[in-house]
Amino acid sequence: MTRTLTLIVLAAGATLSAGALAKLPPPSEAQQAKAAEAKARAAWSDKVAAFQLCRAQDKIATRYYAERQAQGKEARAAAQGAPCADPGPFAPPVASAPAGAPAPAVASTGPDARPAAPGGVQSPAKAP
């Protein structure tokens, strides 16, 4: 009885698992672009977190040394590491345009010029 039940369960599992082994279709260009932007946003978020941590550590170290000196205790000079690097605002990755597509227009050509964001929003932080 248990042997038959076991065989039935194994047969049902094998039948149902065949659908899980099916190959998924390749992602569309829009899905690939969205995945690339999500990956870039995650990397930028990591850089922002590291920047905020660096600034907090500098602030705490400065306060610690000031308090030690105020108490009259000996305080060694803080070891100077690399300065905190601000990652700046998020800039989505530039997607490669199809062969026949026109290039995006640039508002200005100065050294600090950036292409205008789609939809007229200048900062991704202000986007809805």
Whole-model pTM over 0.85: no
CA angle 13, 18, 19 (to 5 degrees): 110
Q: Pick the more confident residue, 57 or 98.
A: 57
Using CA atoms, how far apart are residues 113 and 2, in angstroms rounded to an integer? 74
pLDDT in tens, 14-32: 777 766 777 889 999 999 9
Using CA atoms, how far apart are residues 109 and 115, in angstroms rounded to an integer? 9
pLDDT in tens, 84-110: 999 999 998 886 655 545 555 544 454
pLDDT at 46 over 90: yes
Exposed/middle/buried for 119, CB within 10 Å: 0-12, 13-18, 19+? exposed
